[in-house]
Amino acid sequence: MPLVRIDLASTTPPVHVQGVGRAVHEALVATFNAPEADRFQVIGRHAPDELVCSPEFLGVAHSGPVVFVQITCAPGRSTEMKKALYQHIAHAVSAQGYFAAADVIINLVESARENWSFGNGLAPFAQA
Amino acid sequence: MPLVRIDLASTTPPVHVQGVGRAVHEALVATFNAPEADRFQVIGRHAPDELVCSPEFLGVAHSGPVVFVQITCAPGRSTEMKKALYQHIAHAVSAQGYFAAADVIINLVESARENWSFGNGLAPFAQA
Amino acid sequence: MPLVRIDLASTTPPVHVQGVGRAVHEALVATFNAPEADRFQVIGRHAPDELVCSPEFLGVAHSGPVVFVQITCAPGRSTEMKKALYQHIAHAVSAQGYFAAADVIINLVESARENWSFGNGLAPFAQA
Min Cα separation C105/chain B (Å): 5
Please report the pLDDT score of residue C2 as a whole number.
97
Beta strands in chain A (DSSP E): 3-9, 40-46, 51-53, 56-57, 60-61, 67-73, 104-110, 116-118
Chain B residues whose CB is inside 8 A of the C2 CB are none
Facing A102 at nearest CB: one of C3, C45, C120: C120
Q: Among all residues of chain B, which has the CA nearest to that of A7?
A: B50
Please report the pLDDT score of residue A128 as a whole number.
62
For residue B54, name the pLDDT band (cuts at 50, 70, 90): very high
Contact B121 C62 (CB under 8 A): no
pLDDT tens digits for chain C (128 residues)? 899 999 999 999 999 999 999 999 999 999 999 999 999 999 999 999 999 999 999 999 999 999 999 999 999 999 999 999 999 999 999 999 999 999 999 999 999 999 999 999 999 999 86
Please report the pLDDT score of residue B127 as a whole number.
81
pLDDT in tens, B55-84: 999 999 999 999 999 999 999 999 999 999
Domains of chain C: 3-114 (3.30.429.10)
Contact C49 B109 (CB under 8 A): no
C-alpha–C-alpha distance, residues B59 and A35, integer Å: 13
For residue A43, name the pLDDT band (cuts at 50, 70, 90): very high
Beta strands in chain C (DSSP E): 3-9, 40-46, 51-53, 56-57, 60-61, 67-73, 104-110, 116-118
Residue closest to A41 by CA, chosen among A90, A3, A1: A3
Please name the residues in contact with B33: beta carbons below 8 A apart, sequence gap of 6 or more. Answer: none
Give the C-alpha distances (Å, rounded to integers) separating C13 from A91, C10, C20, C45, C108.
Answer: 38, 8, 11, 11, 26
Facing B103 at nearest CB: one of A115, A119, A127: A119
C-alpha–C-alpha distance, residues B92 and C62, integer Å: 27
At CA B36, angle to CA B51 and CA C63, rounded to 5? 80
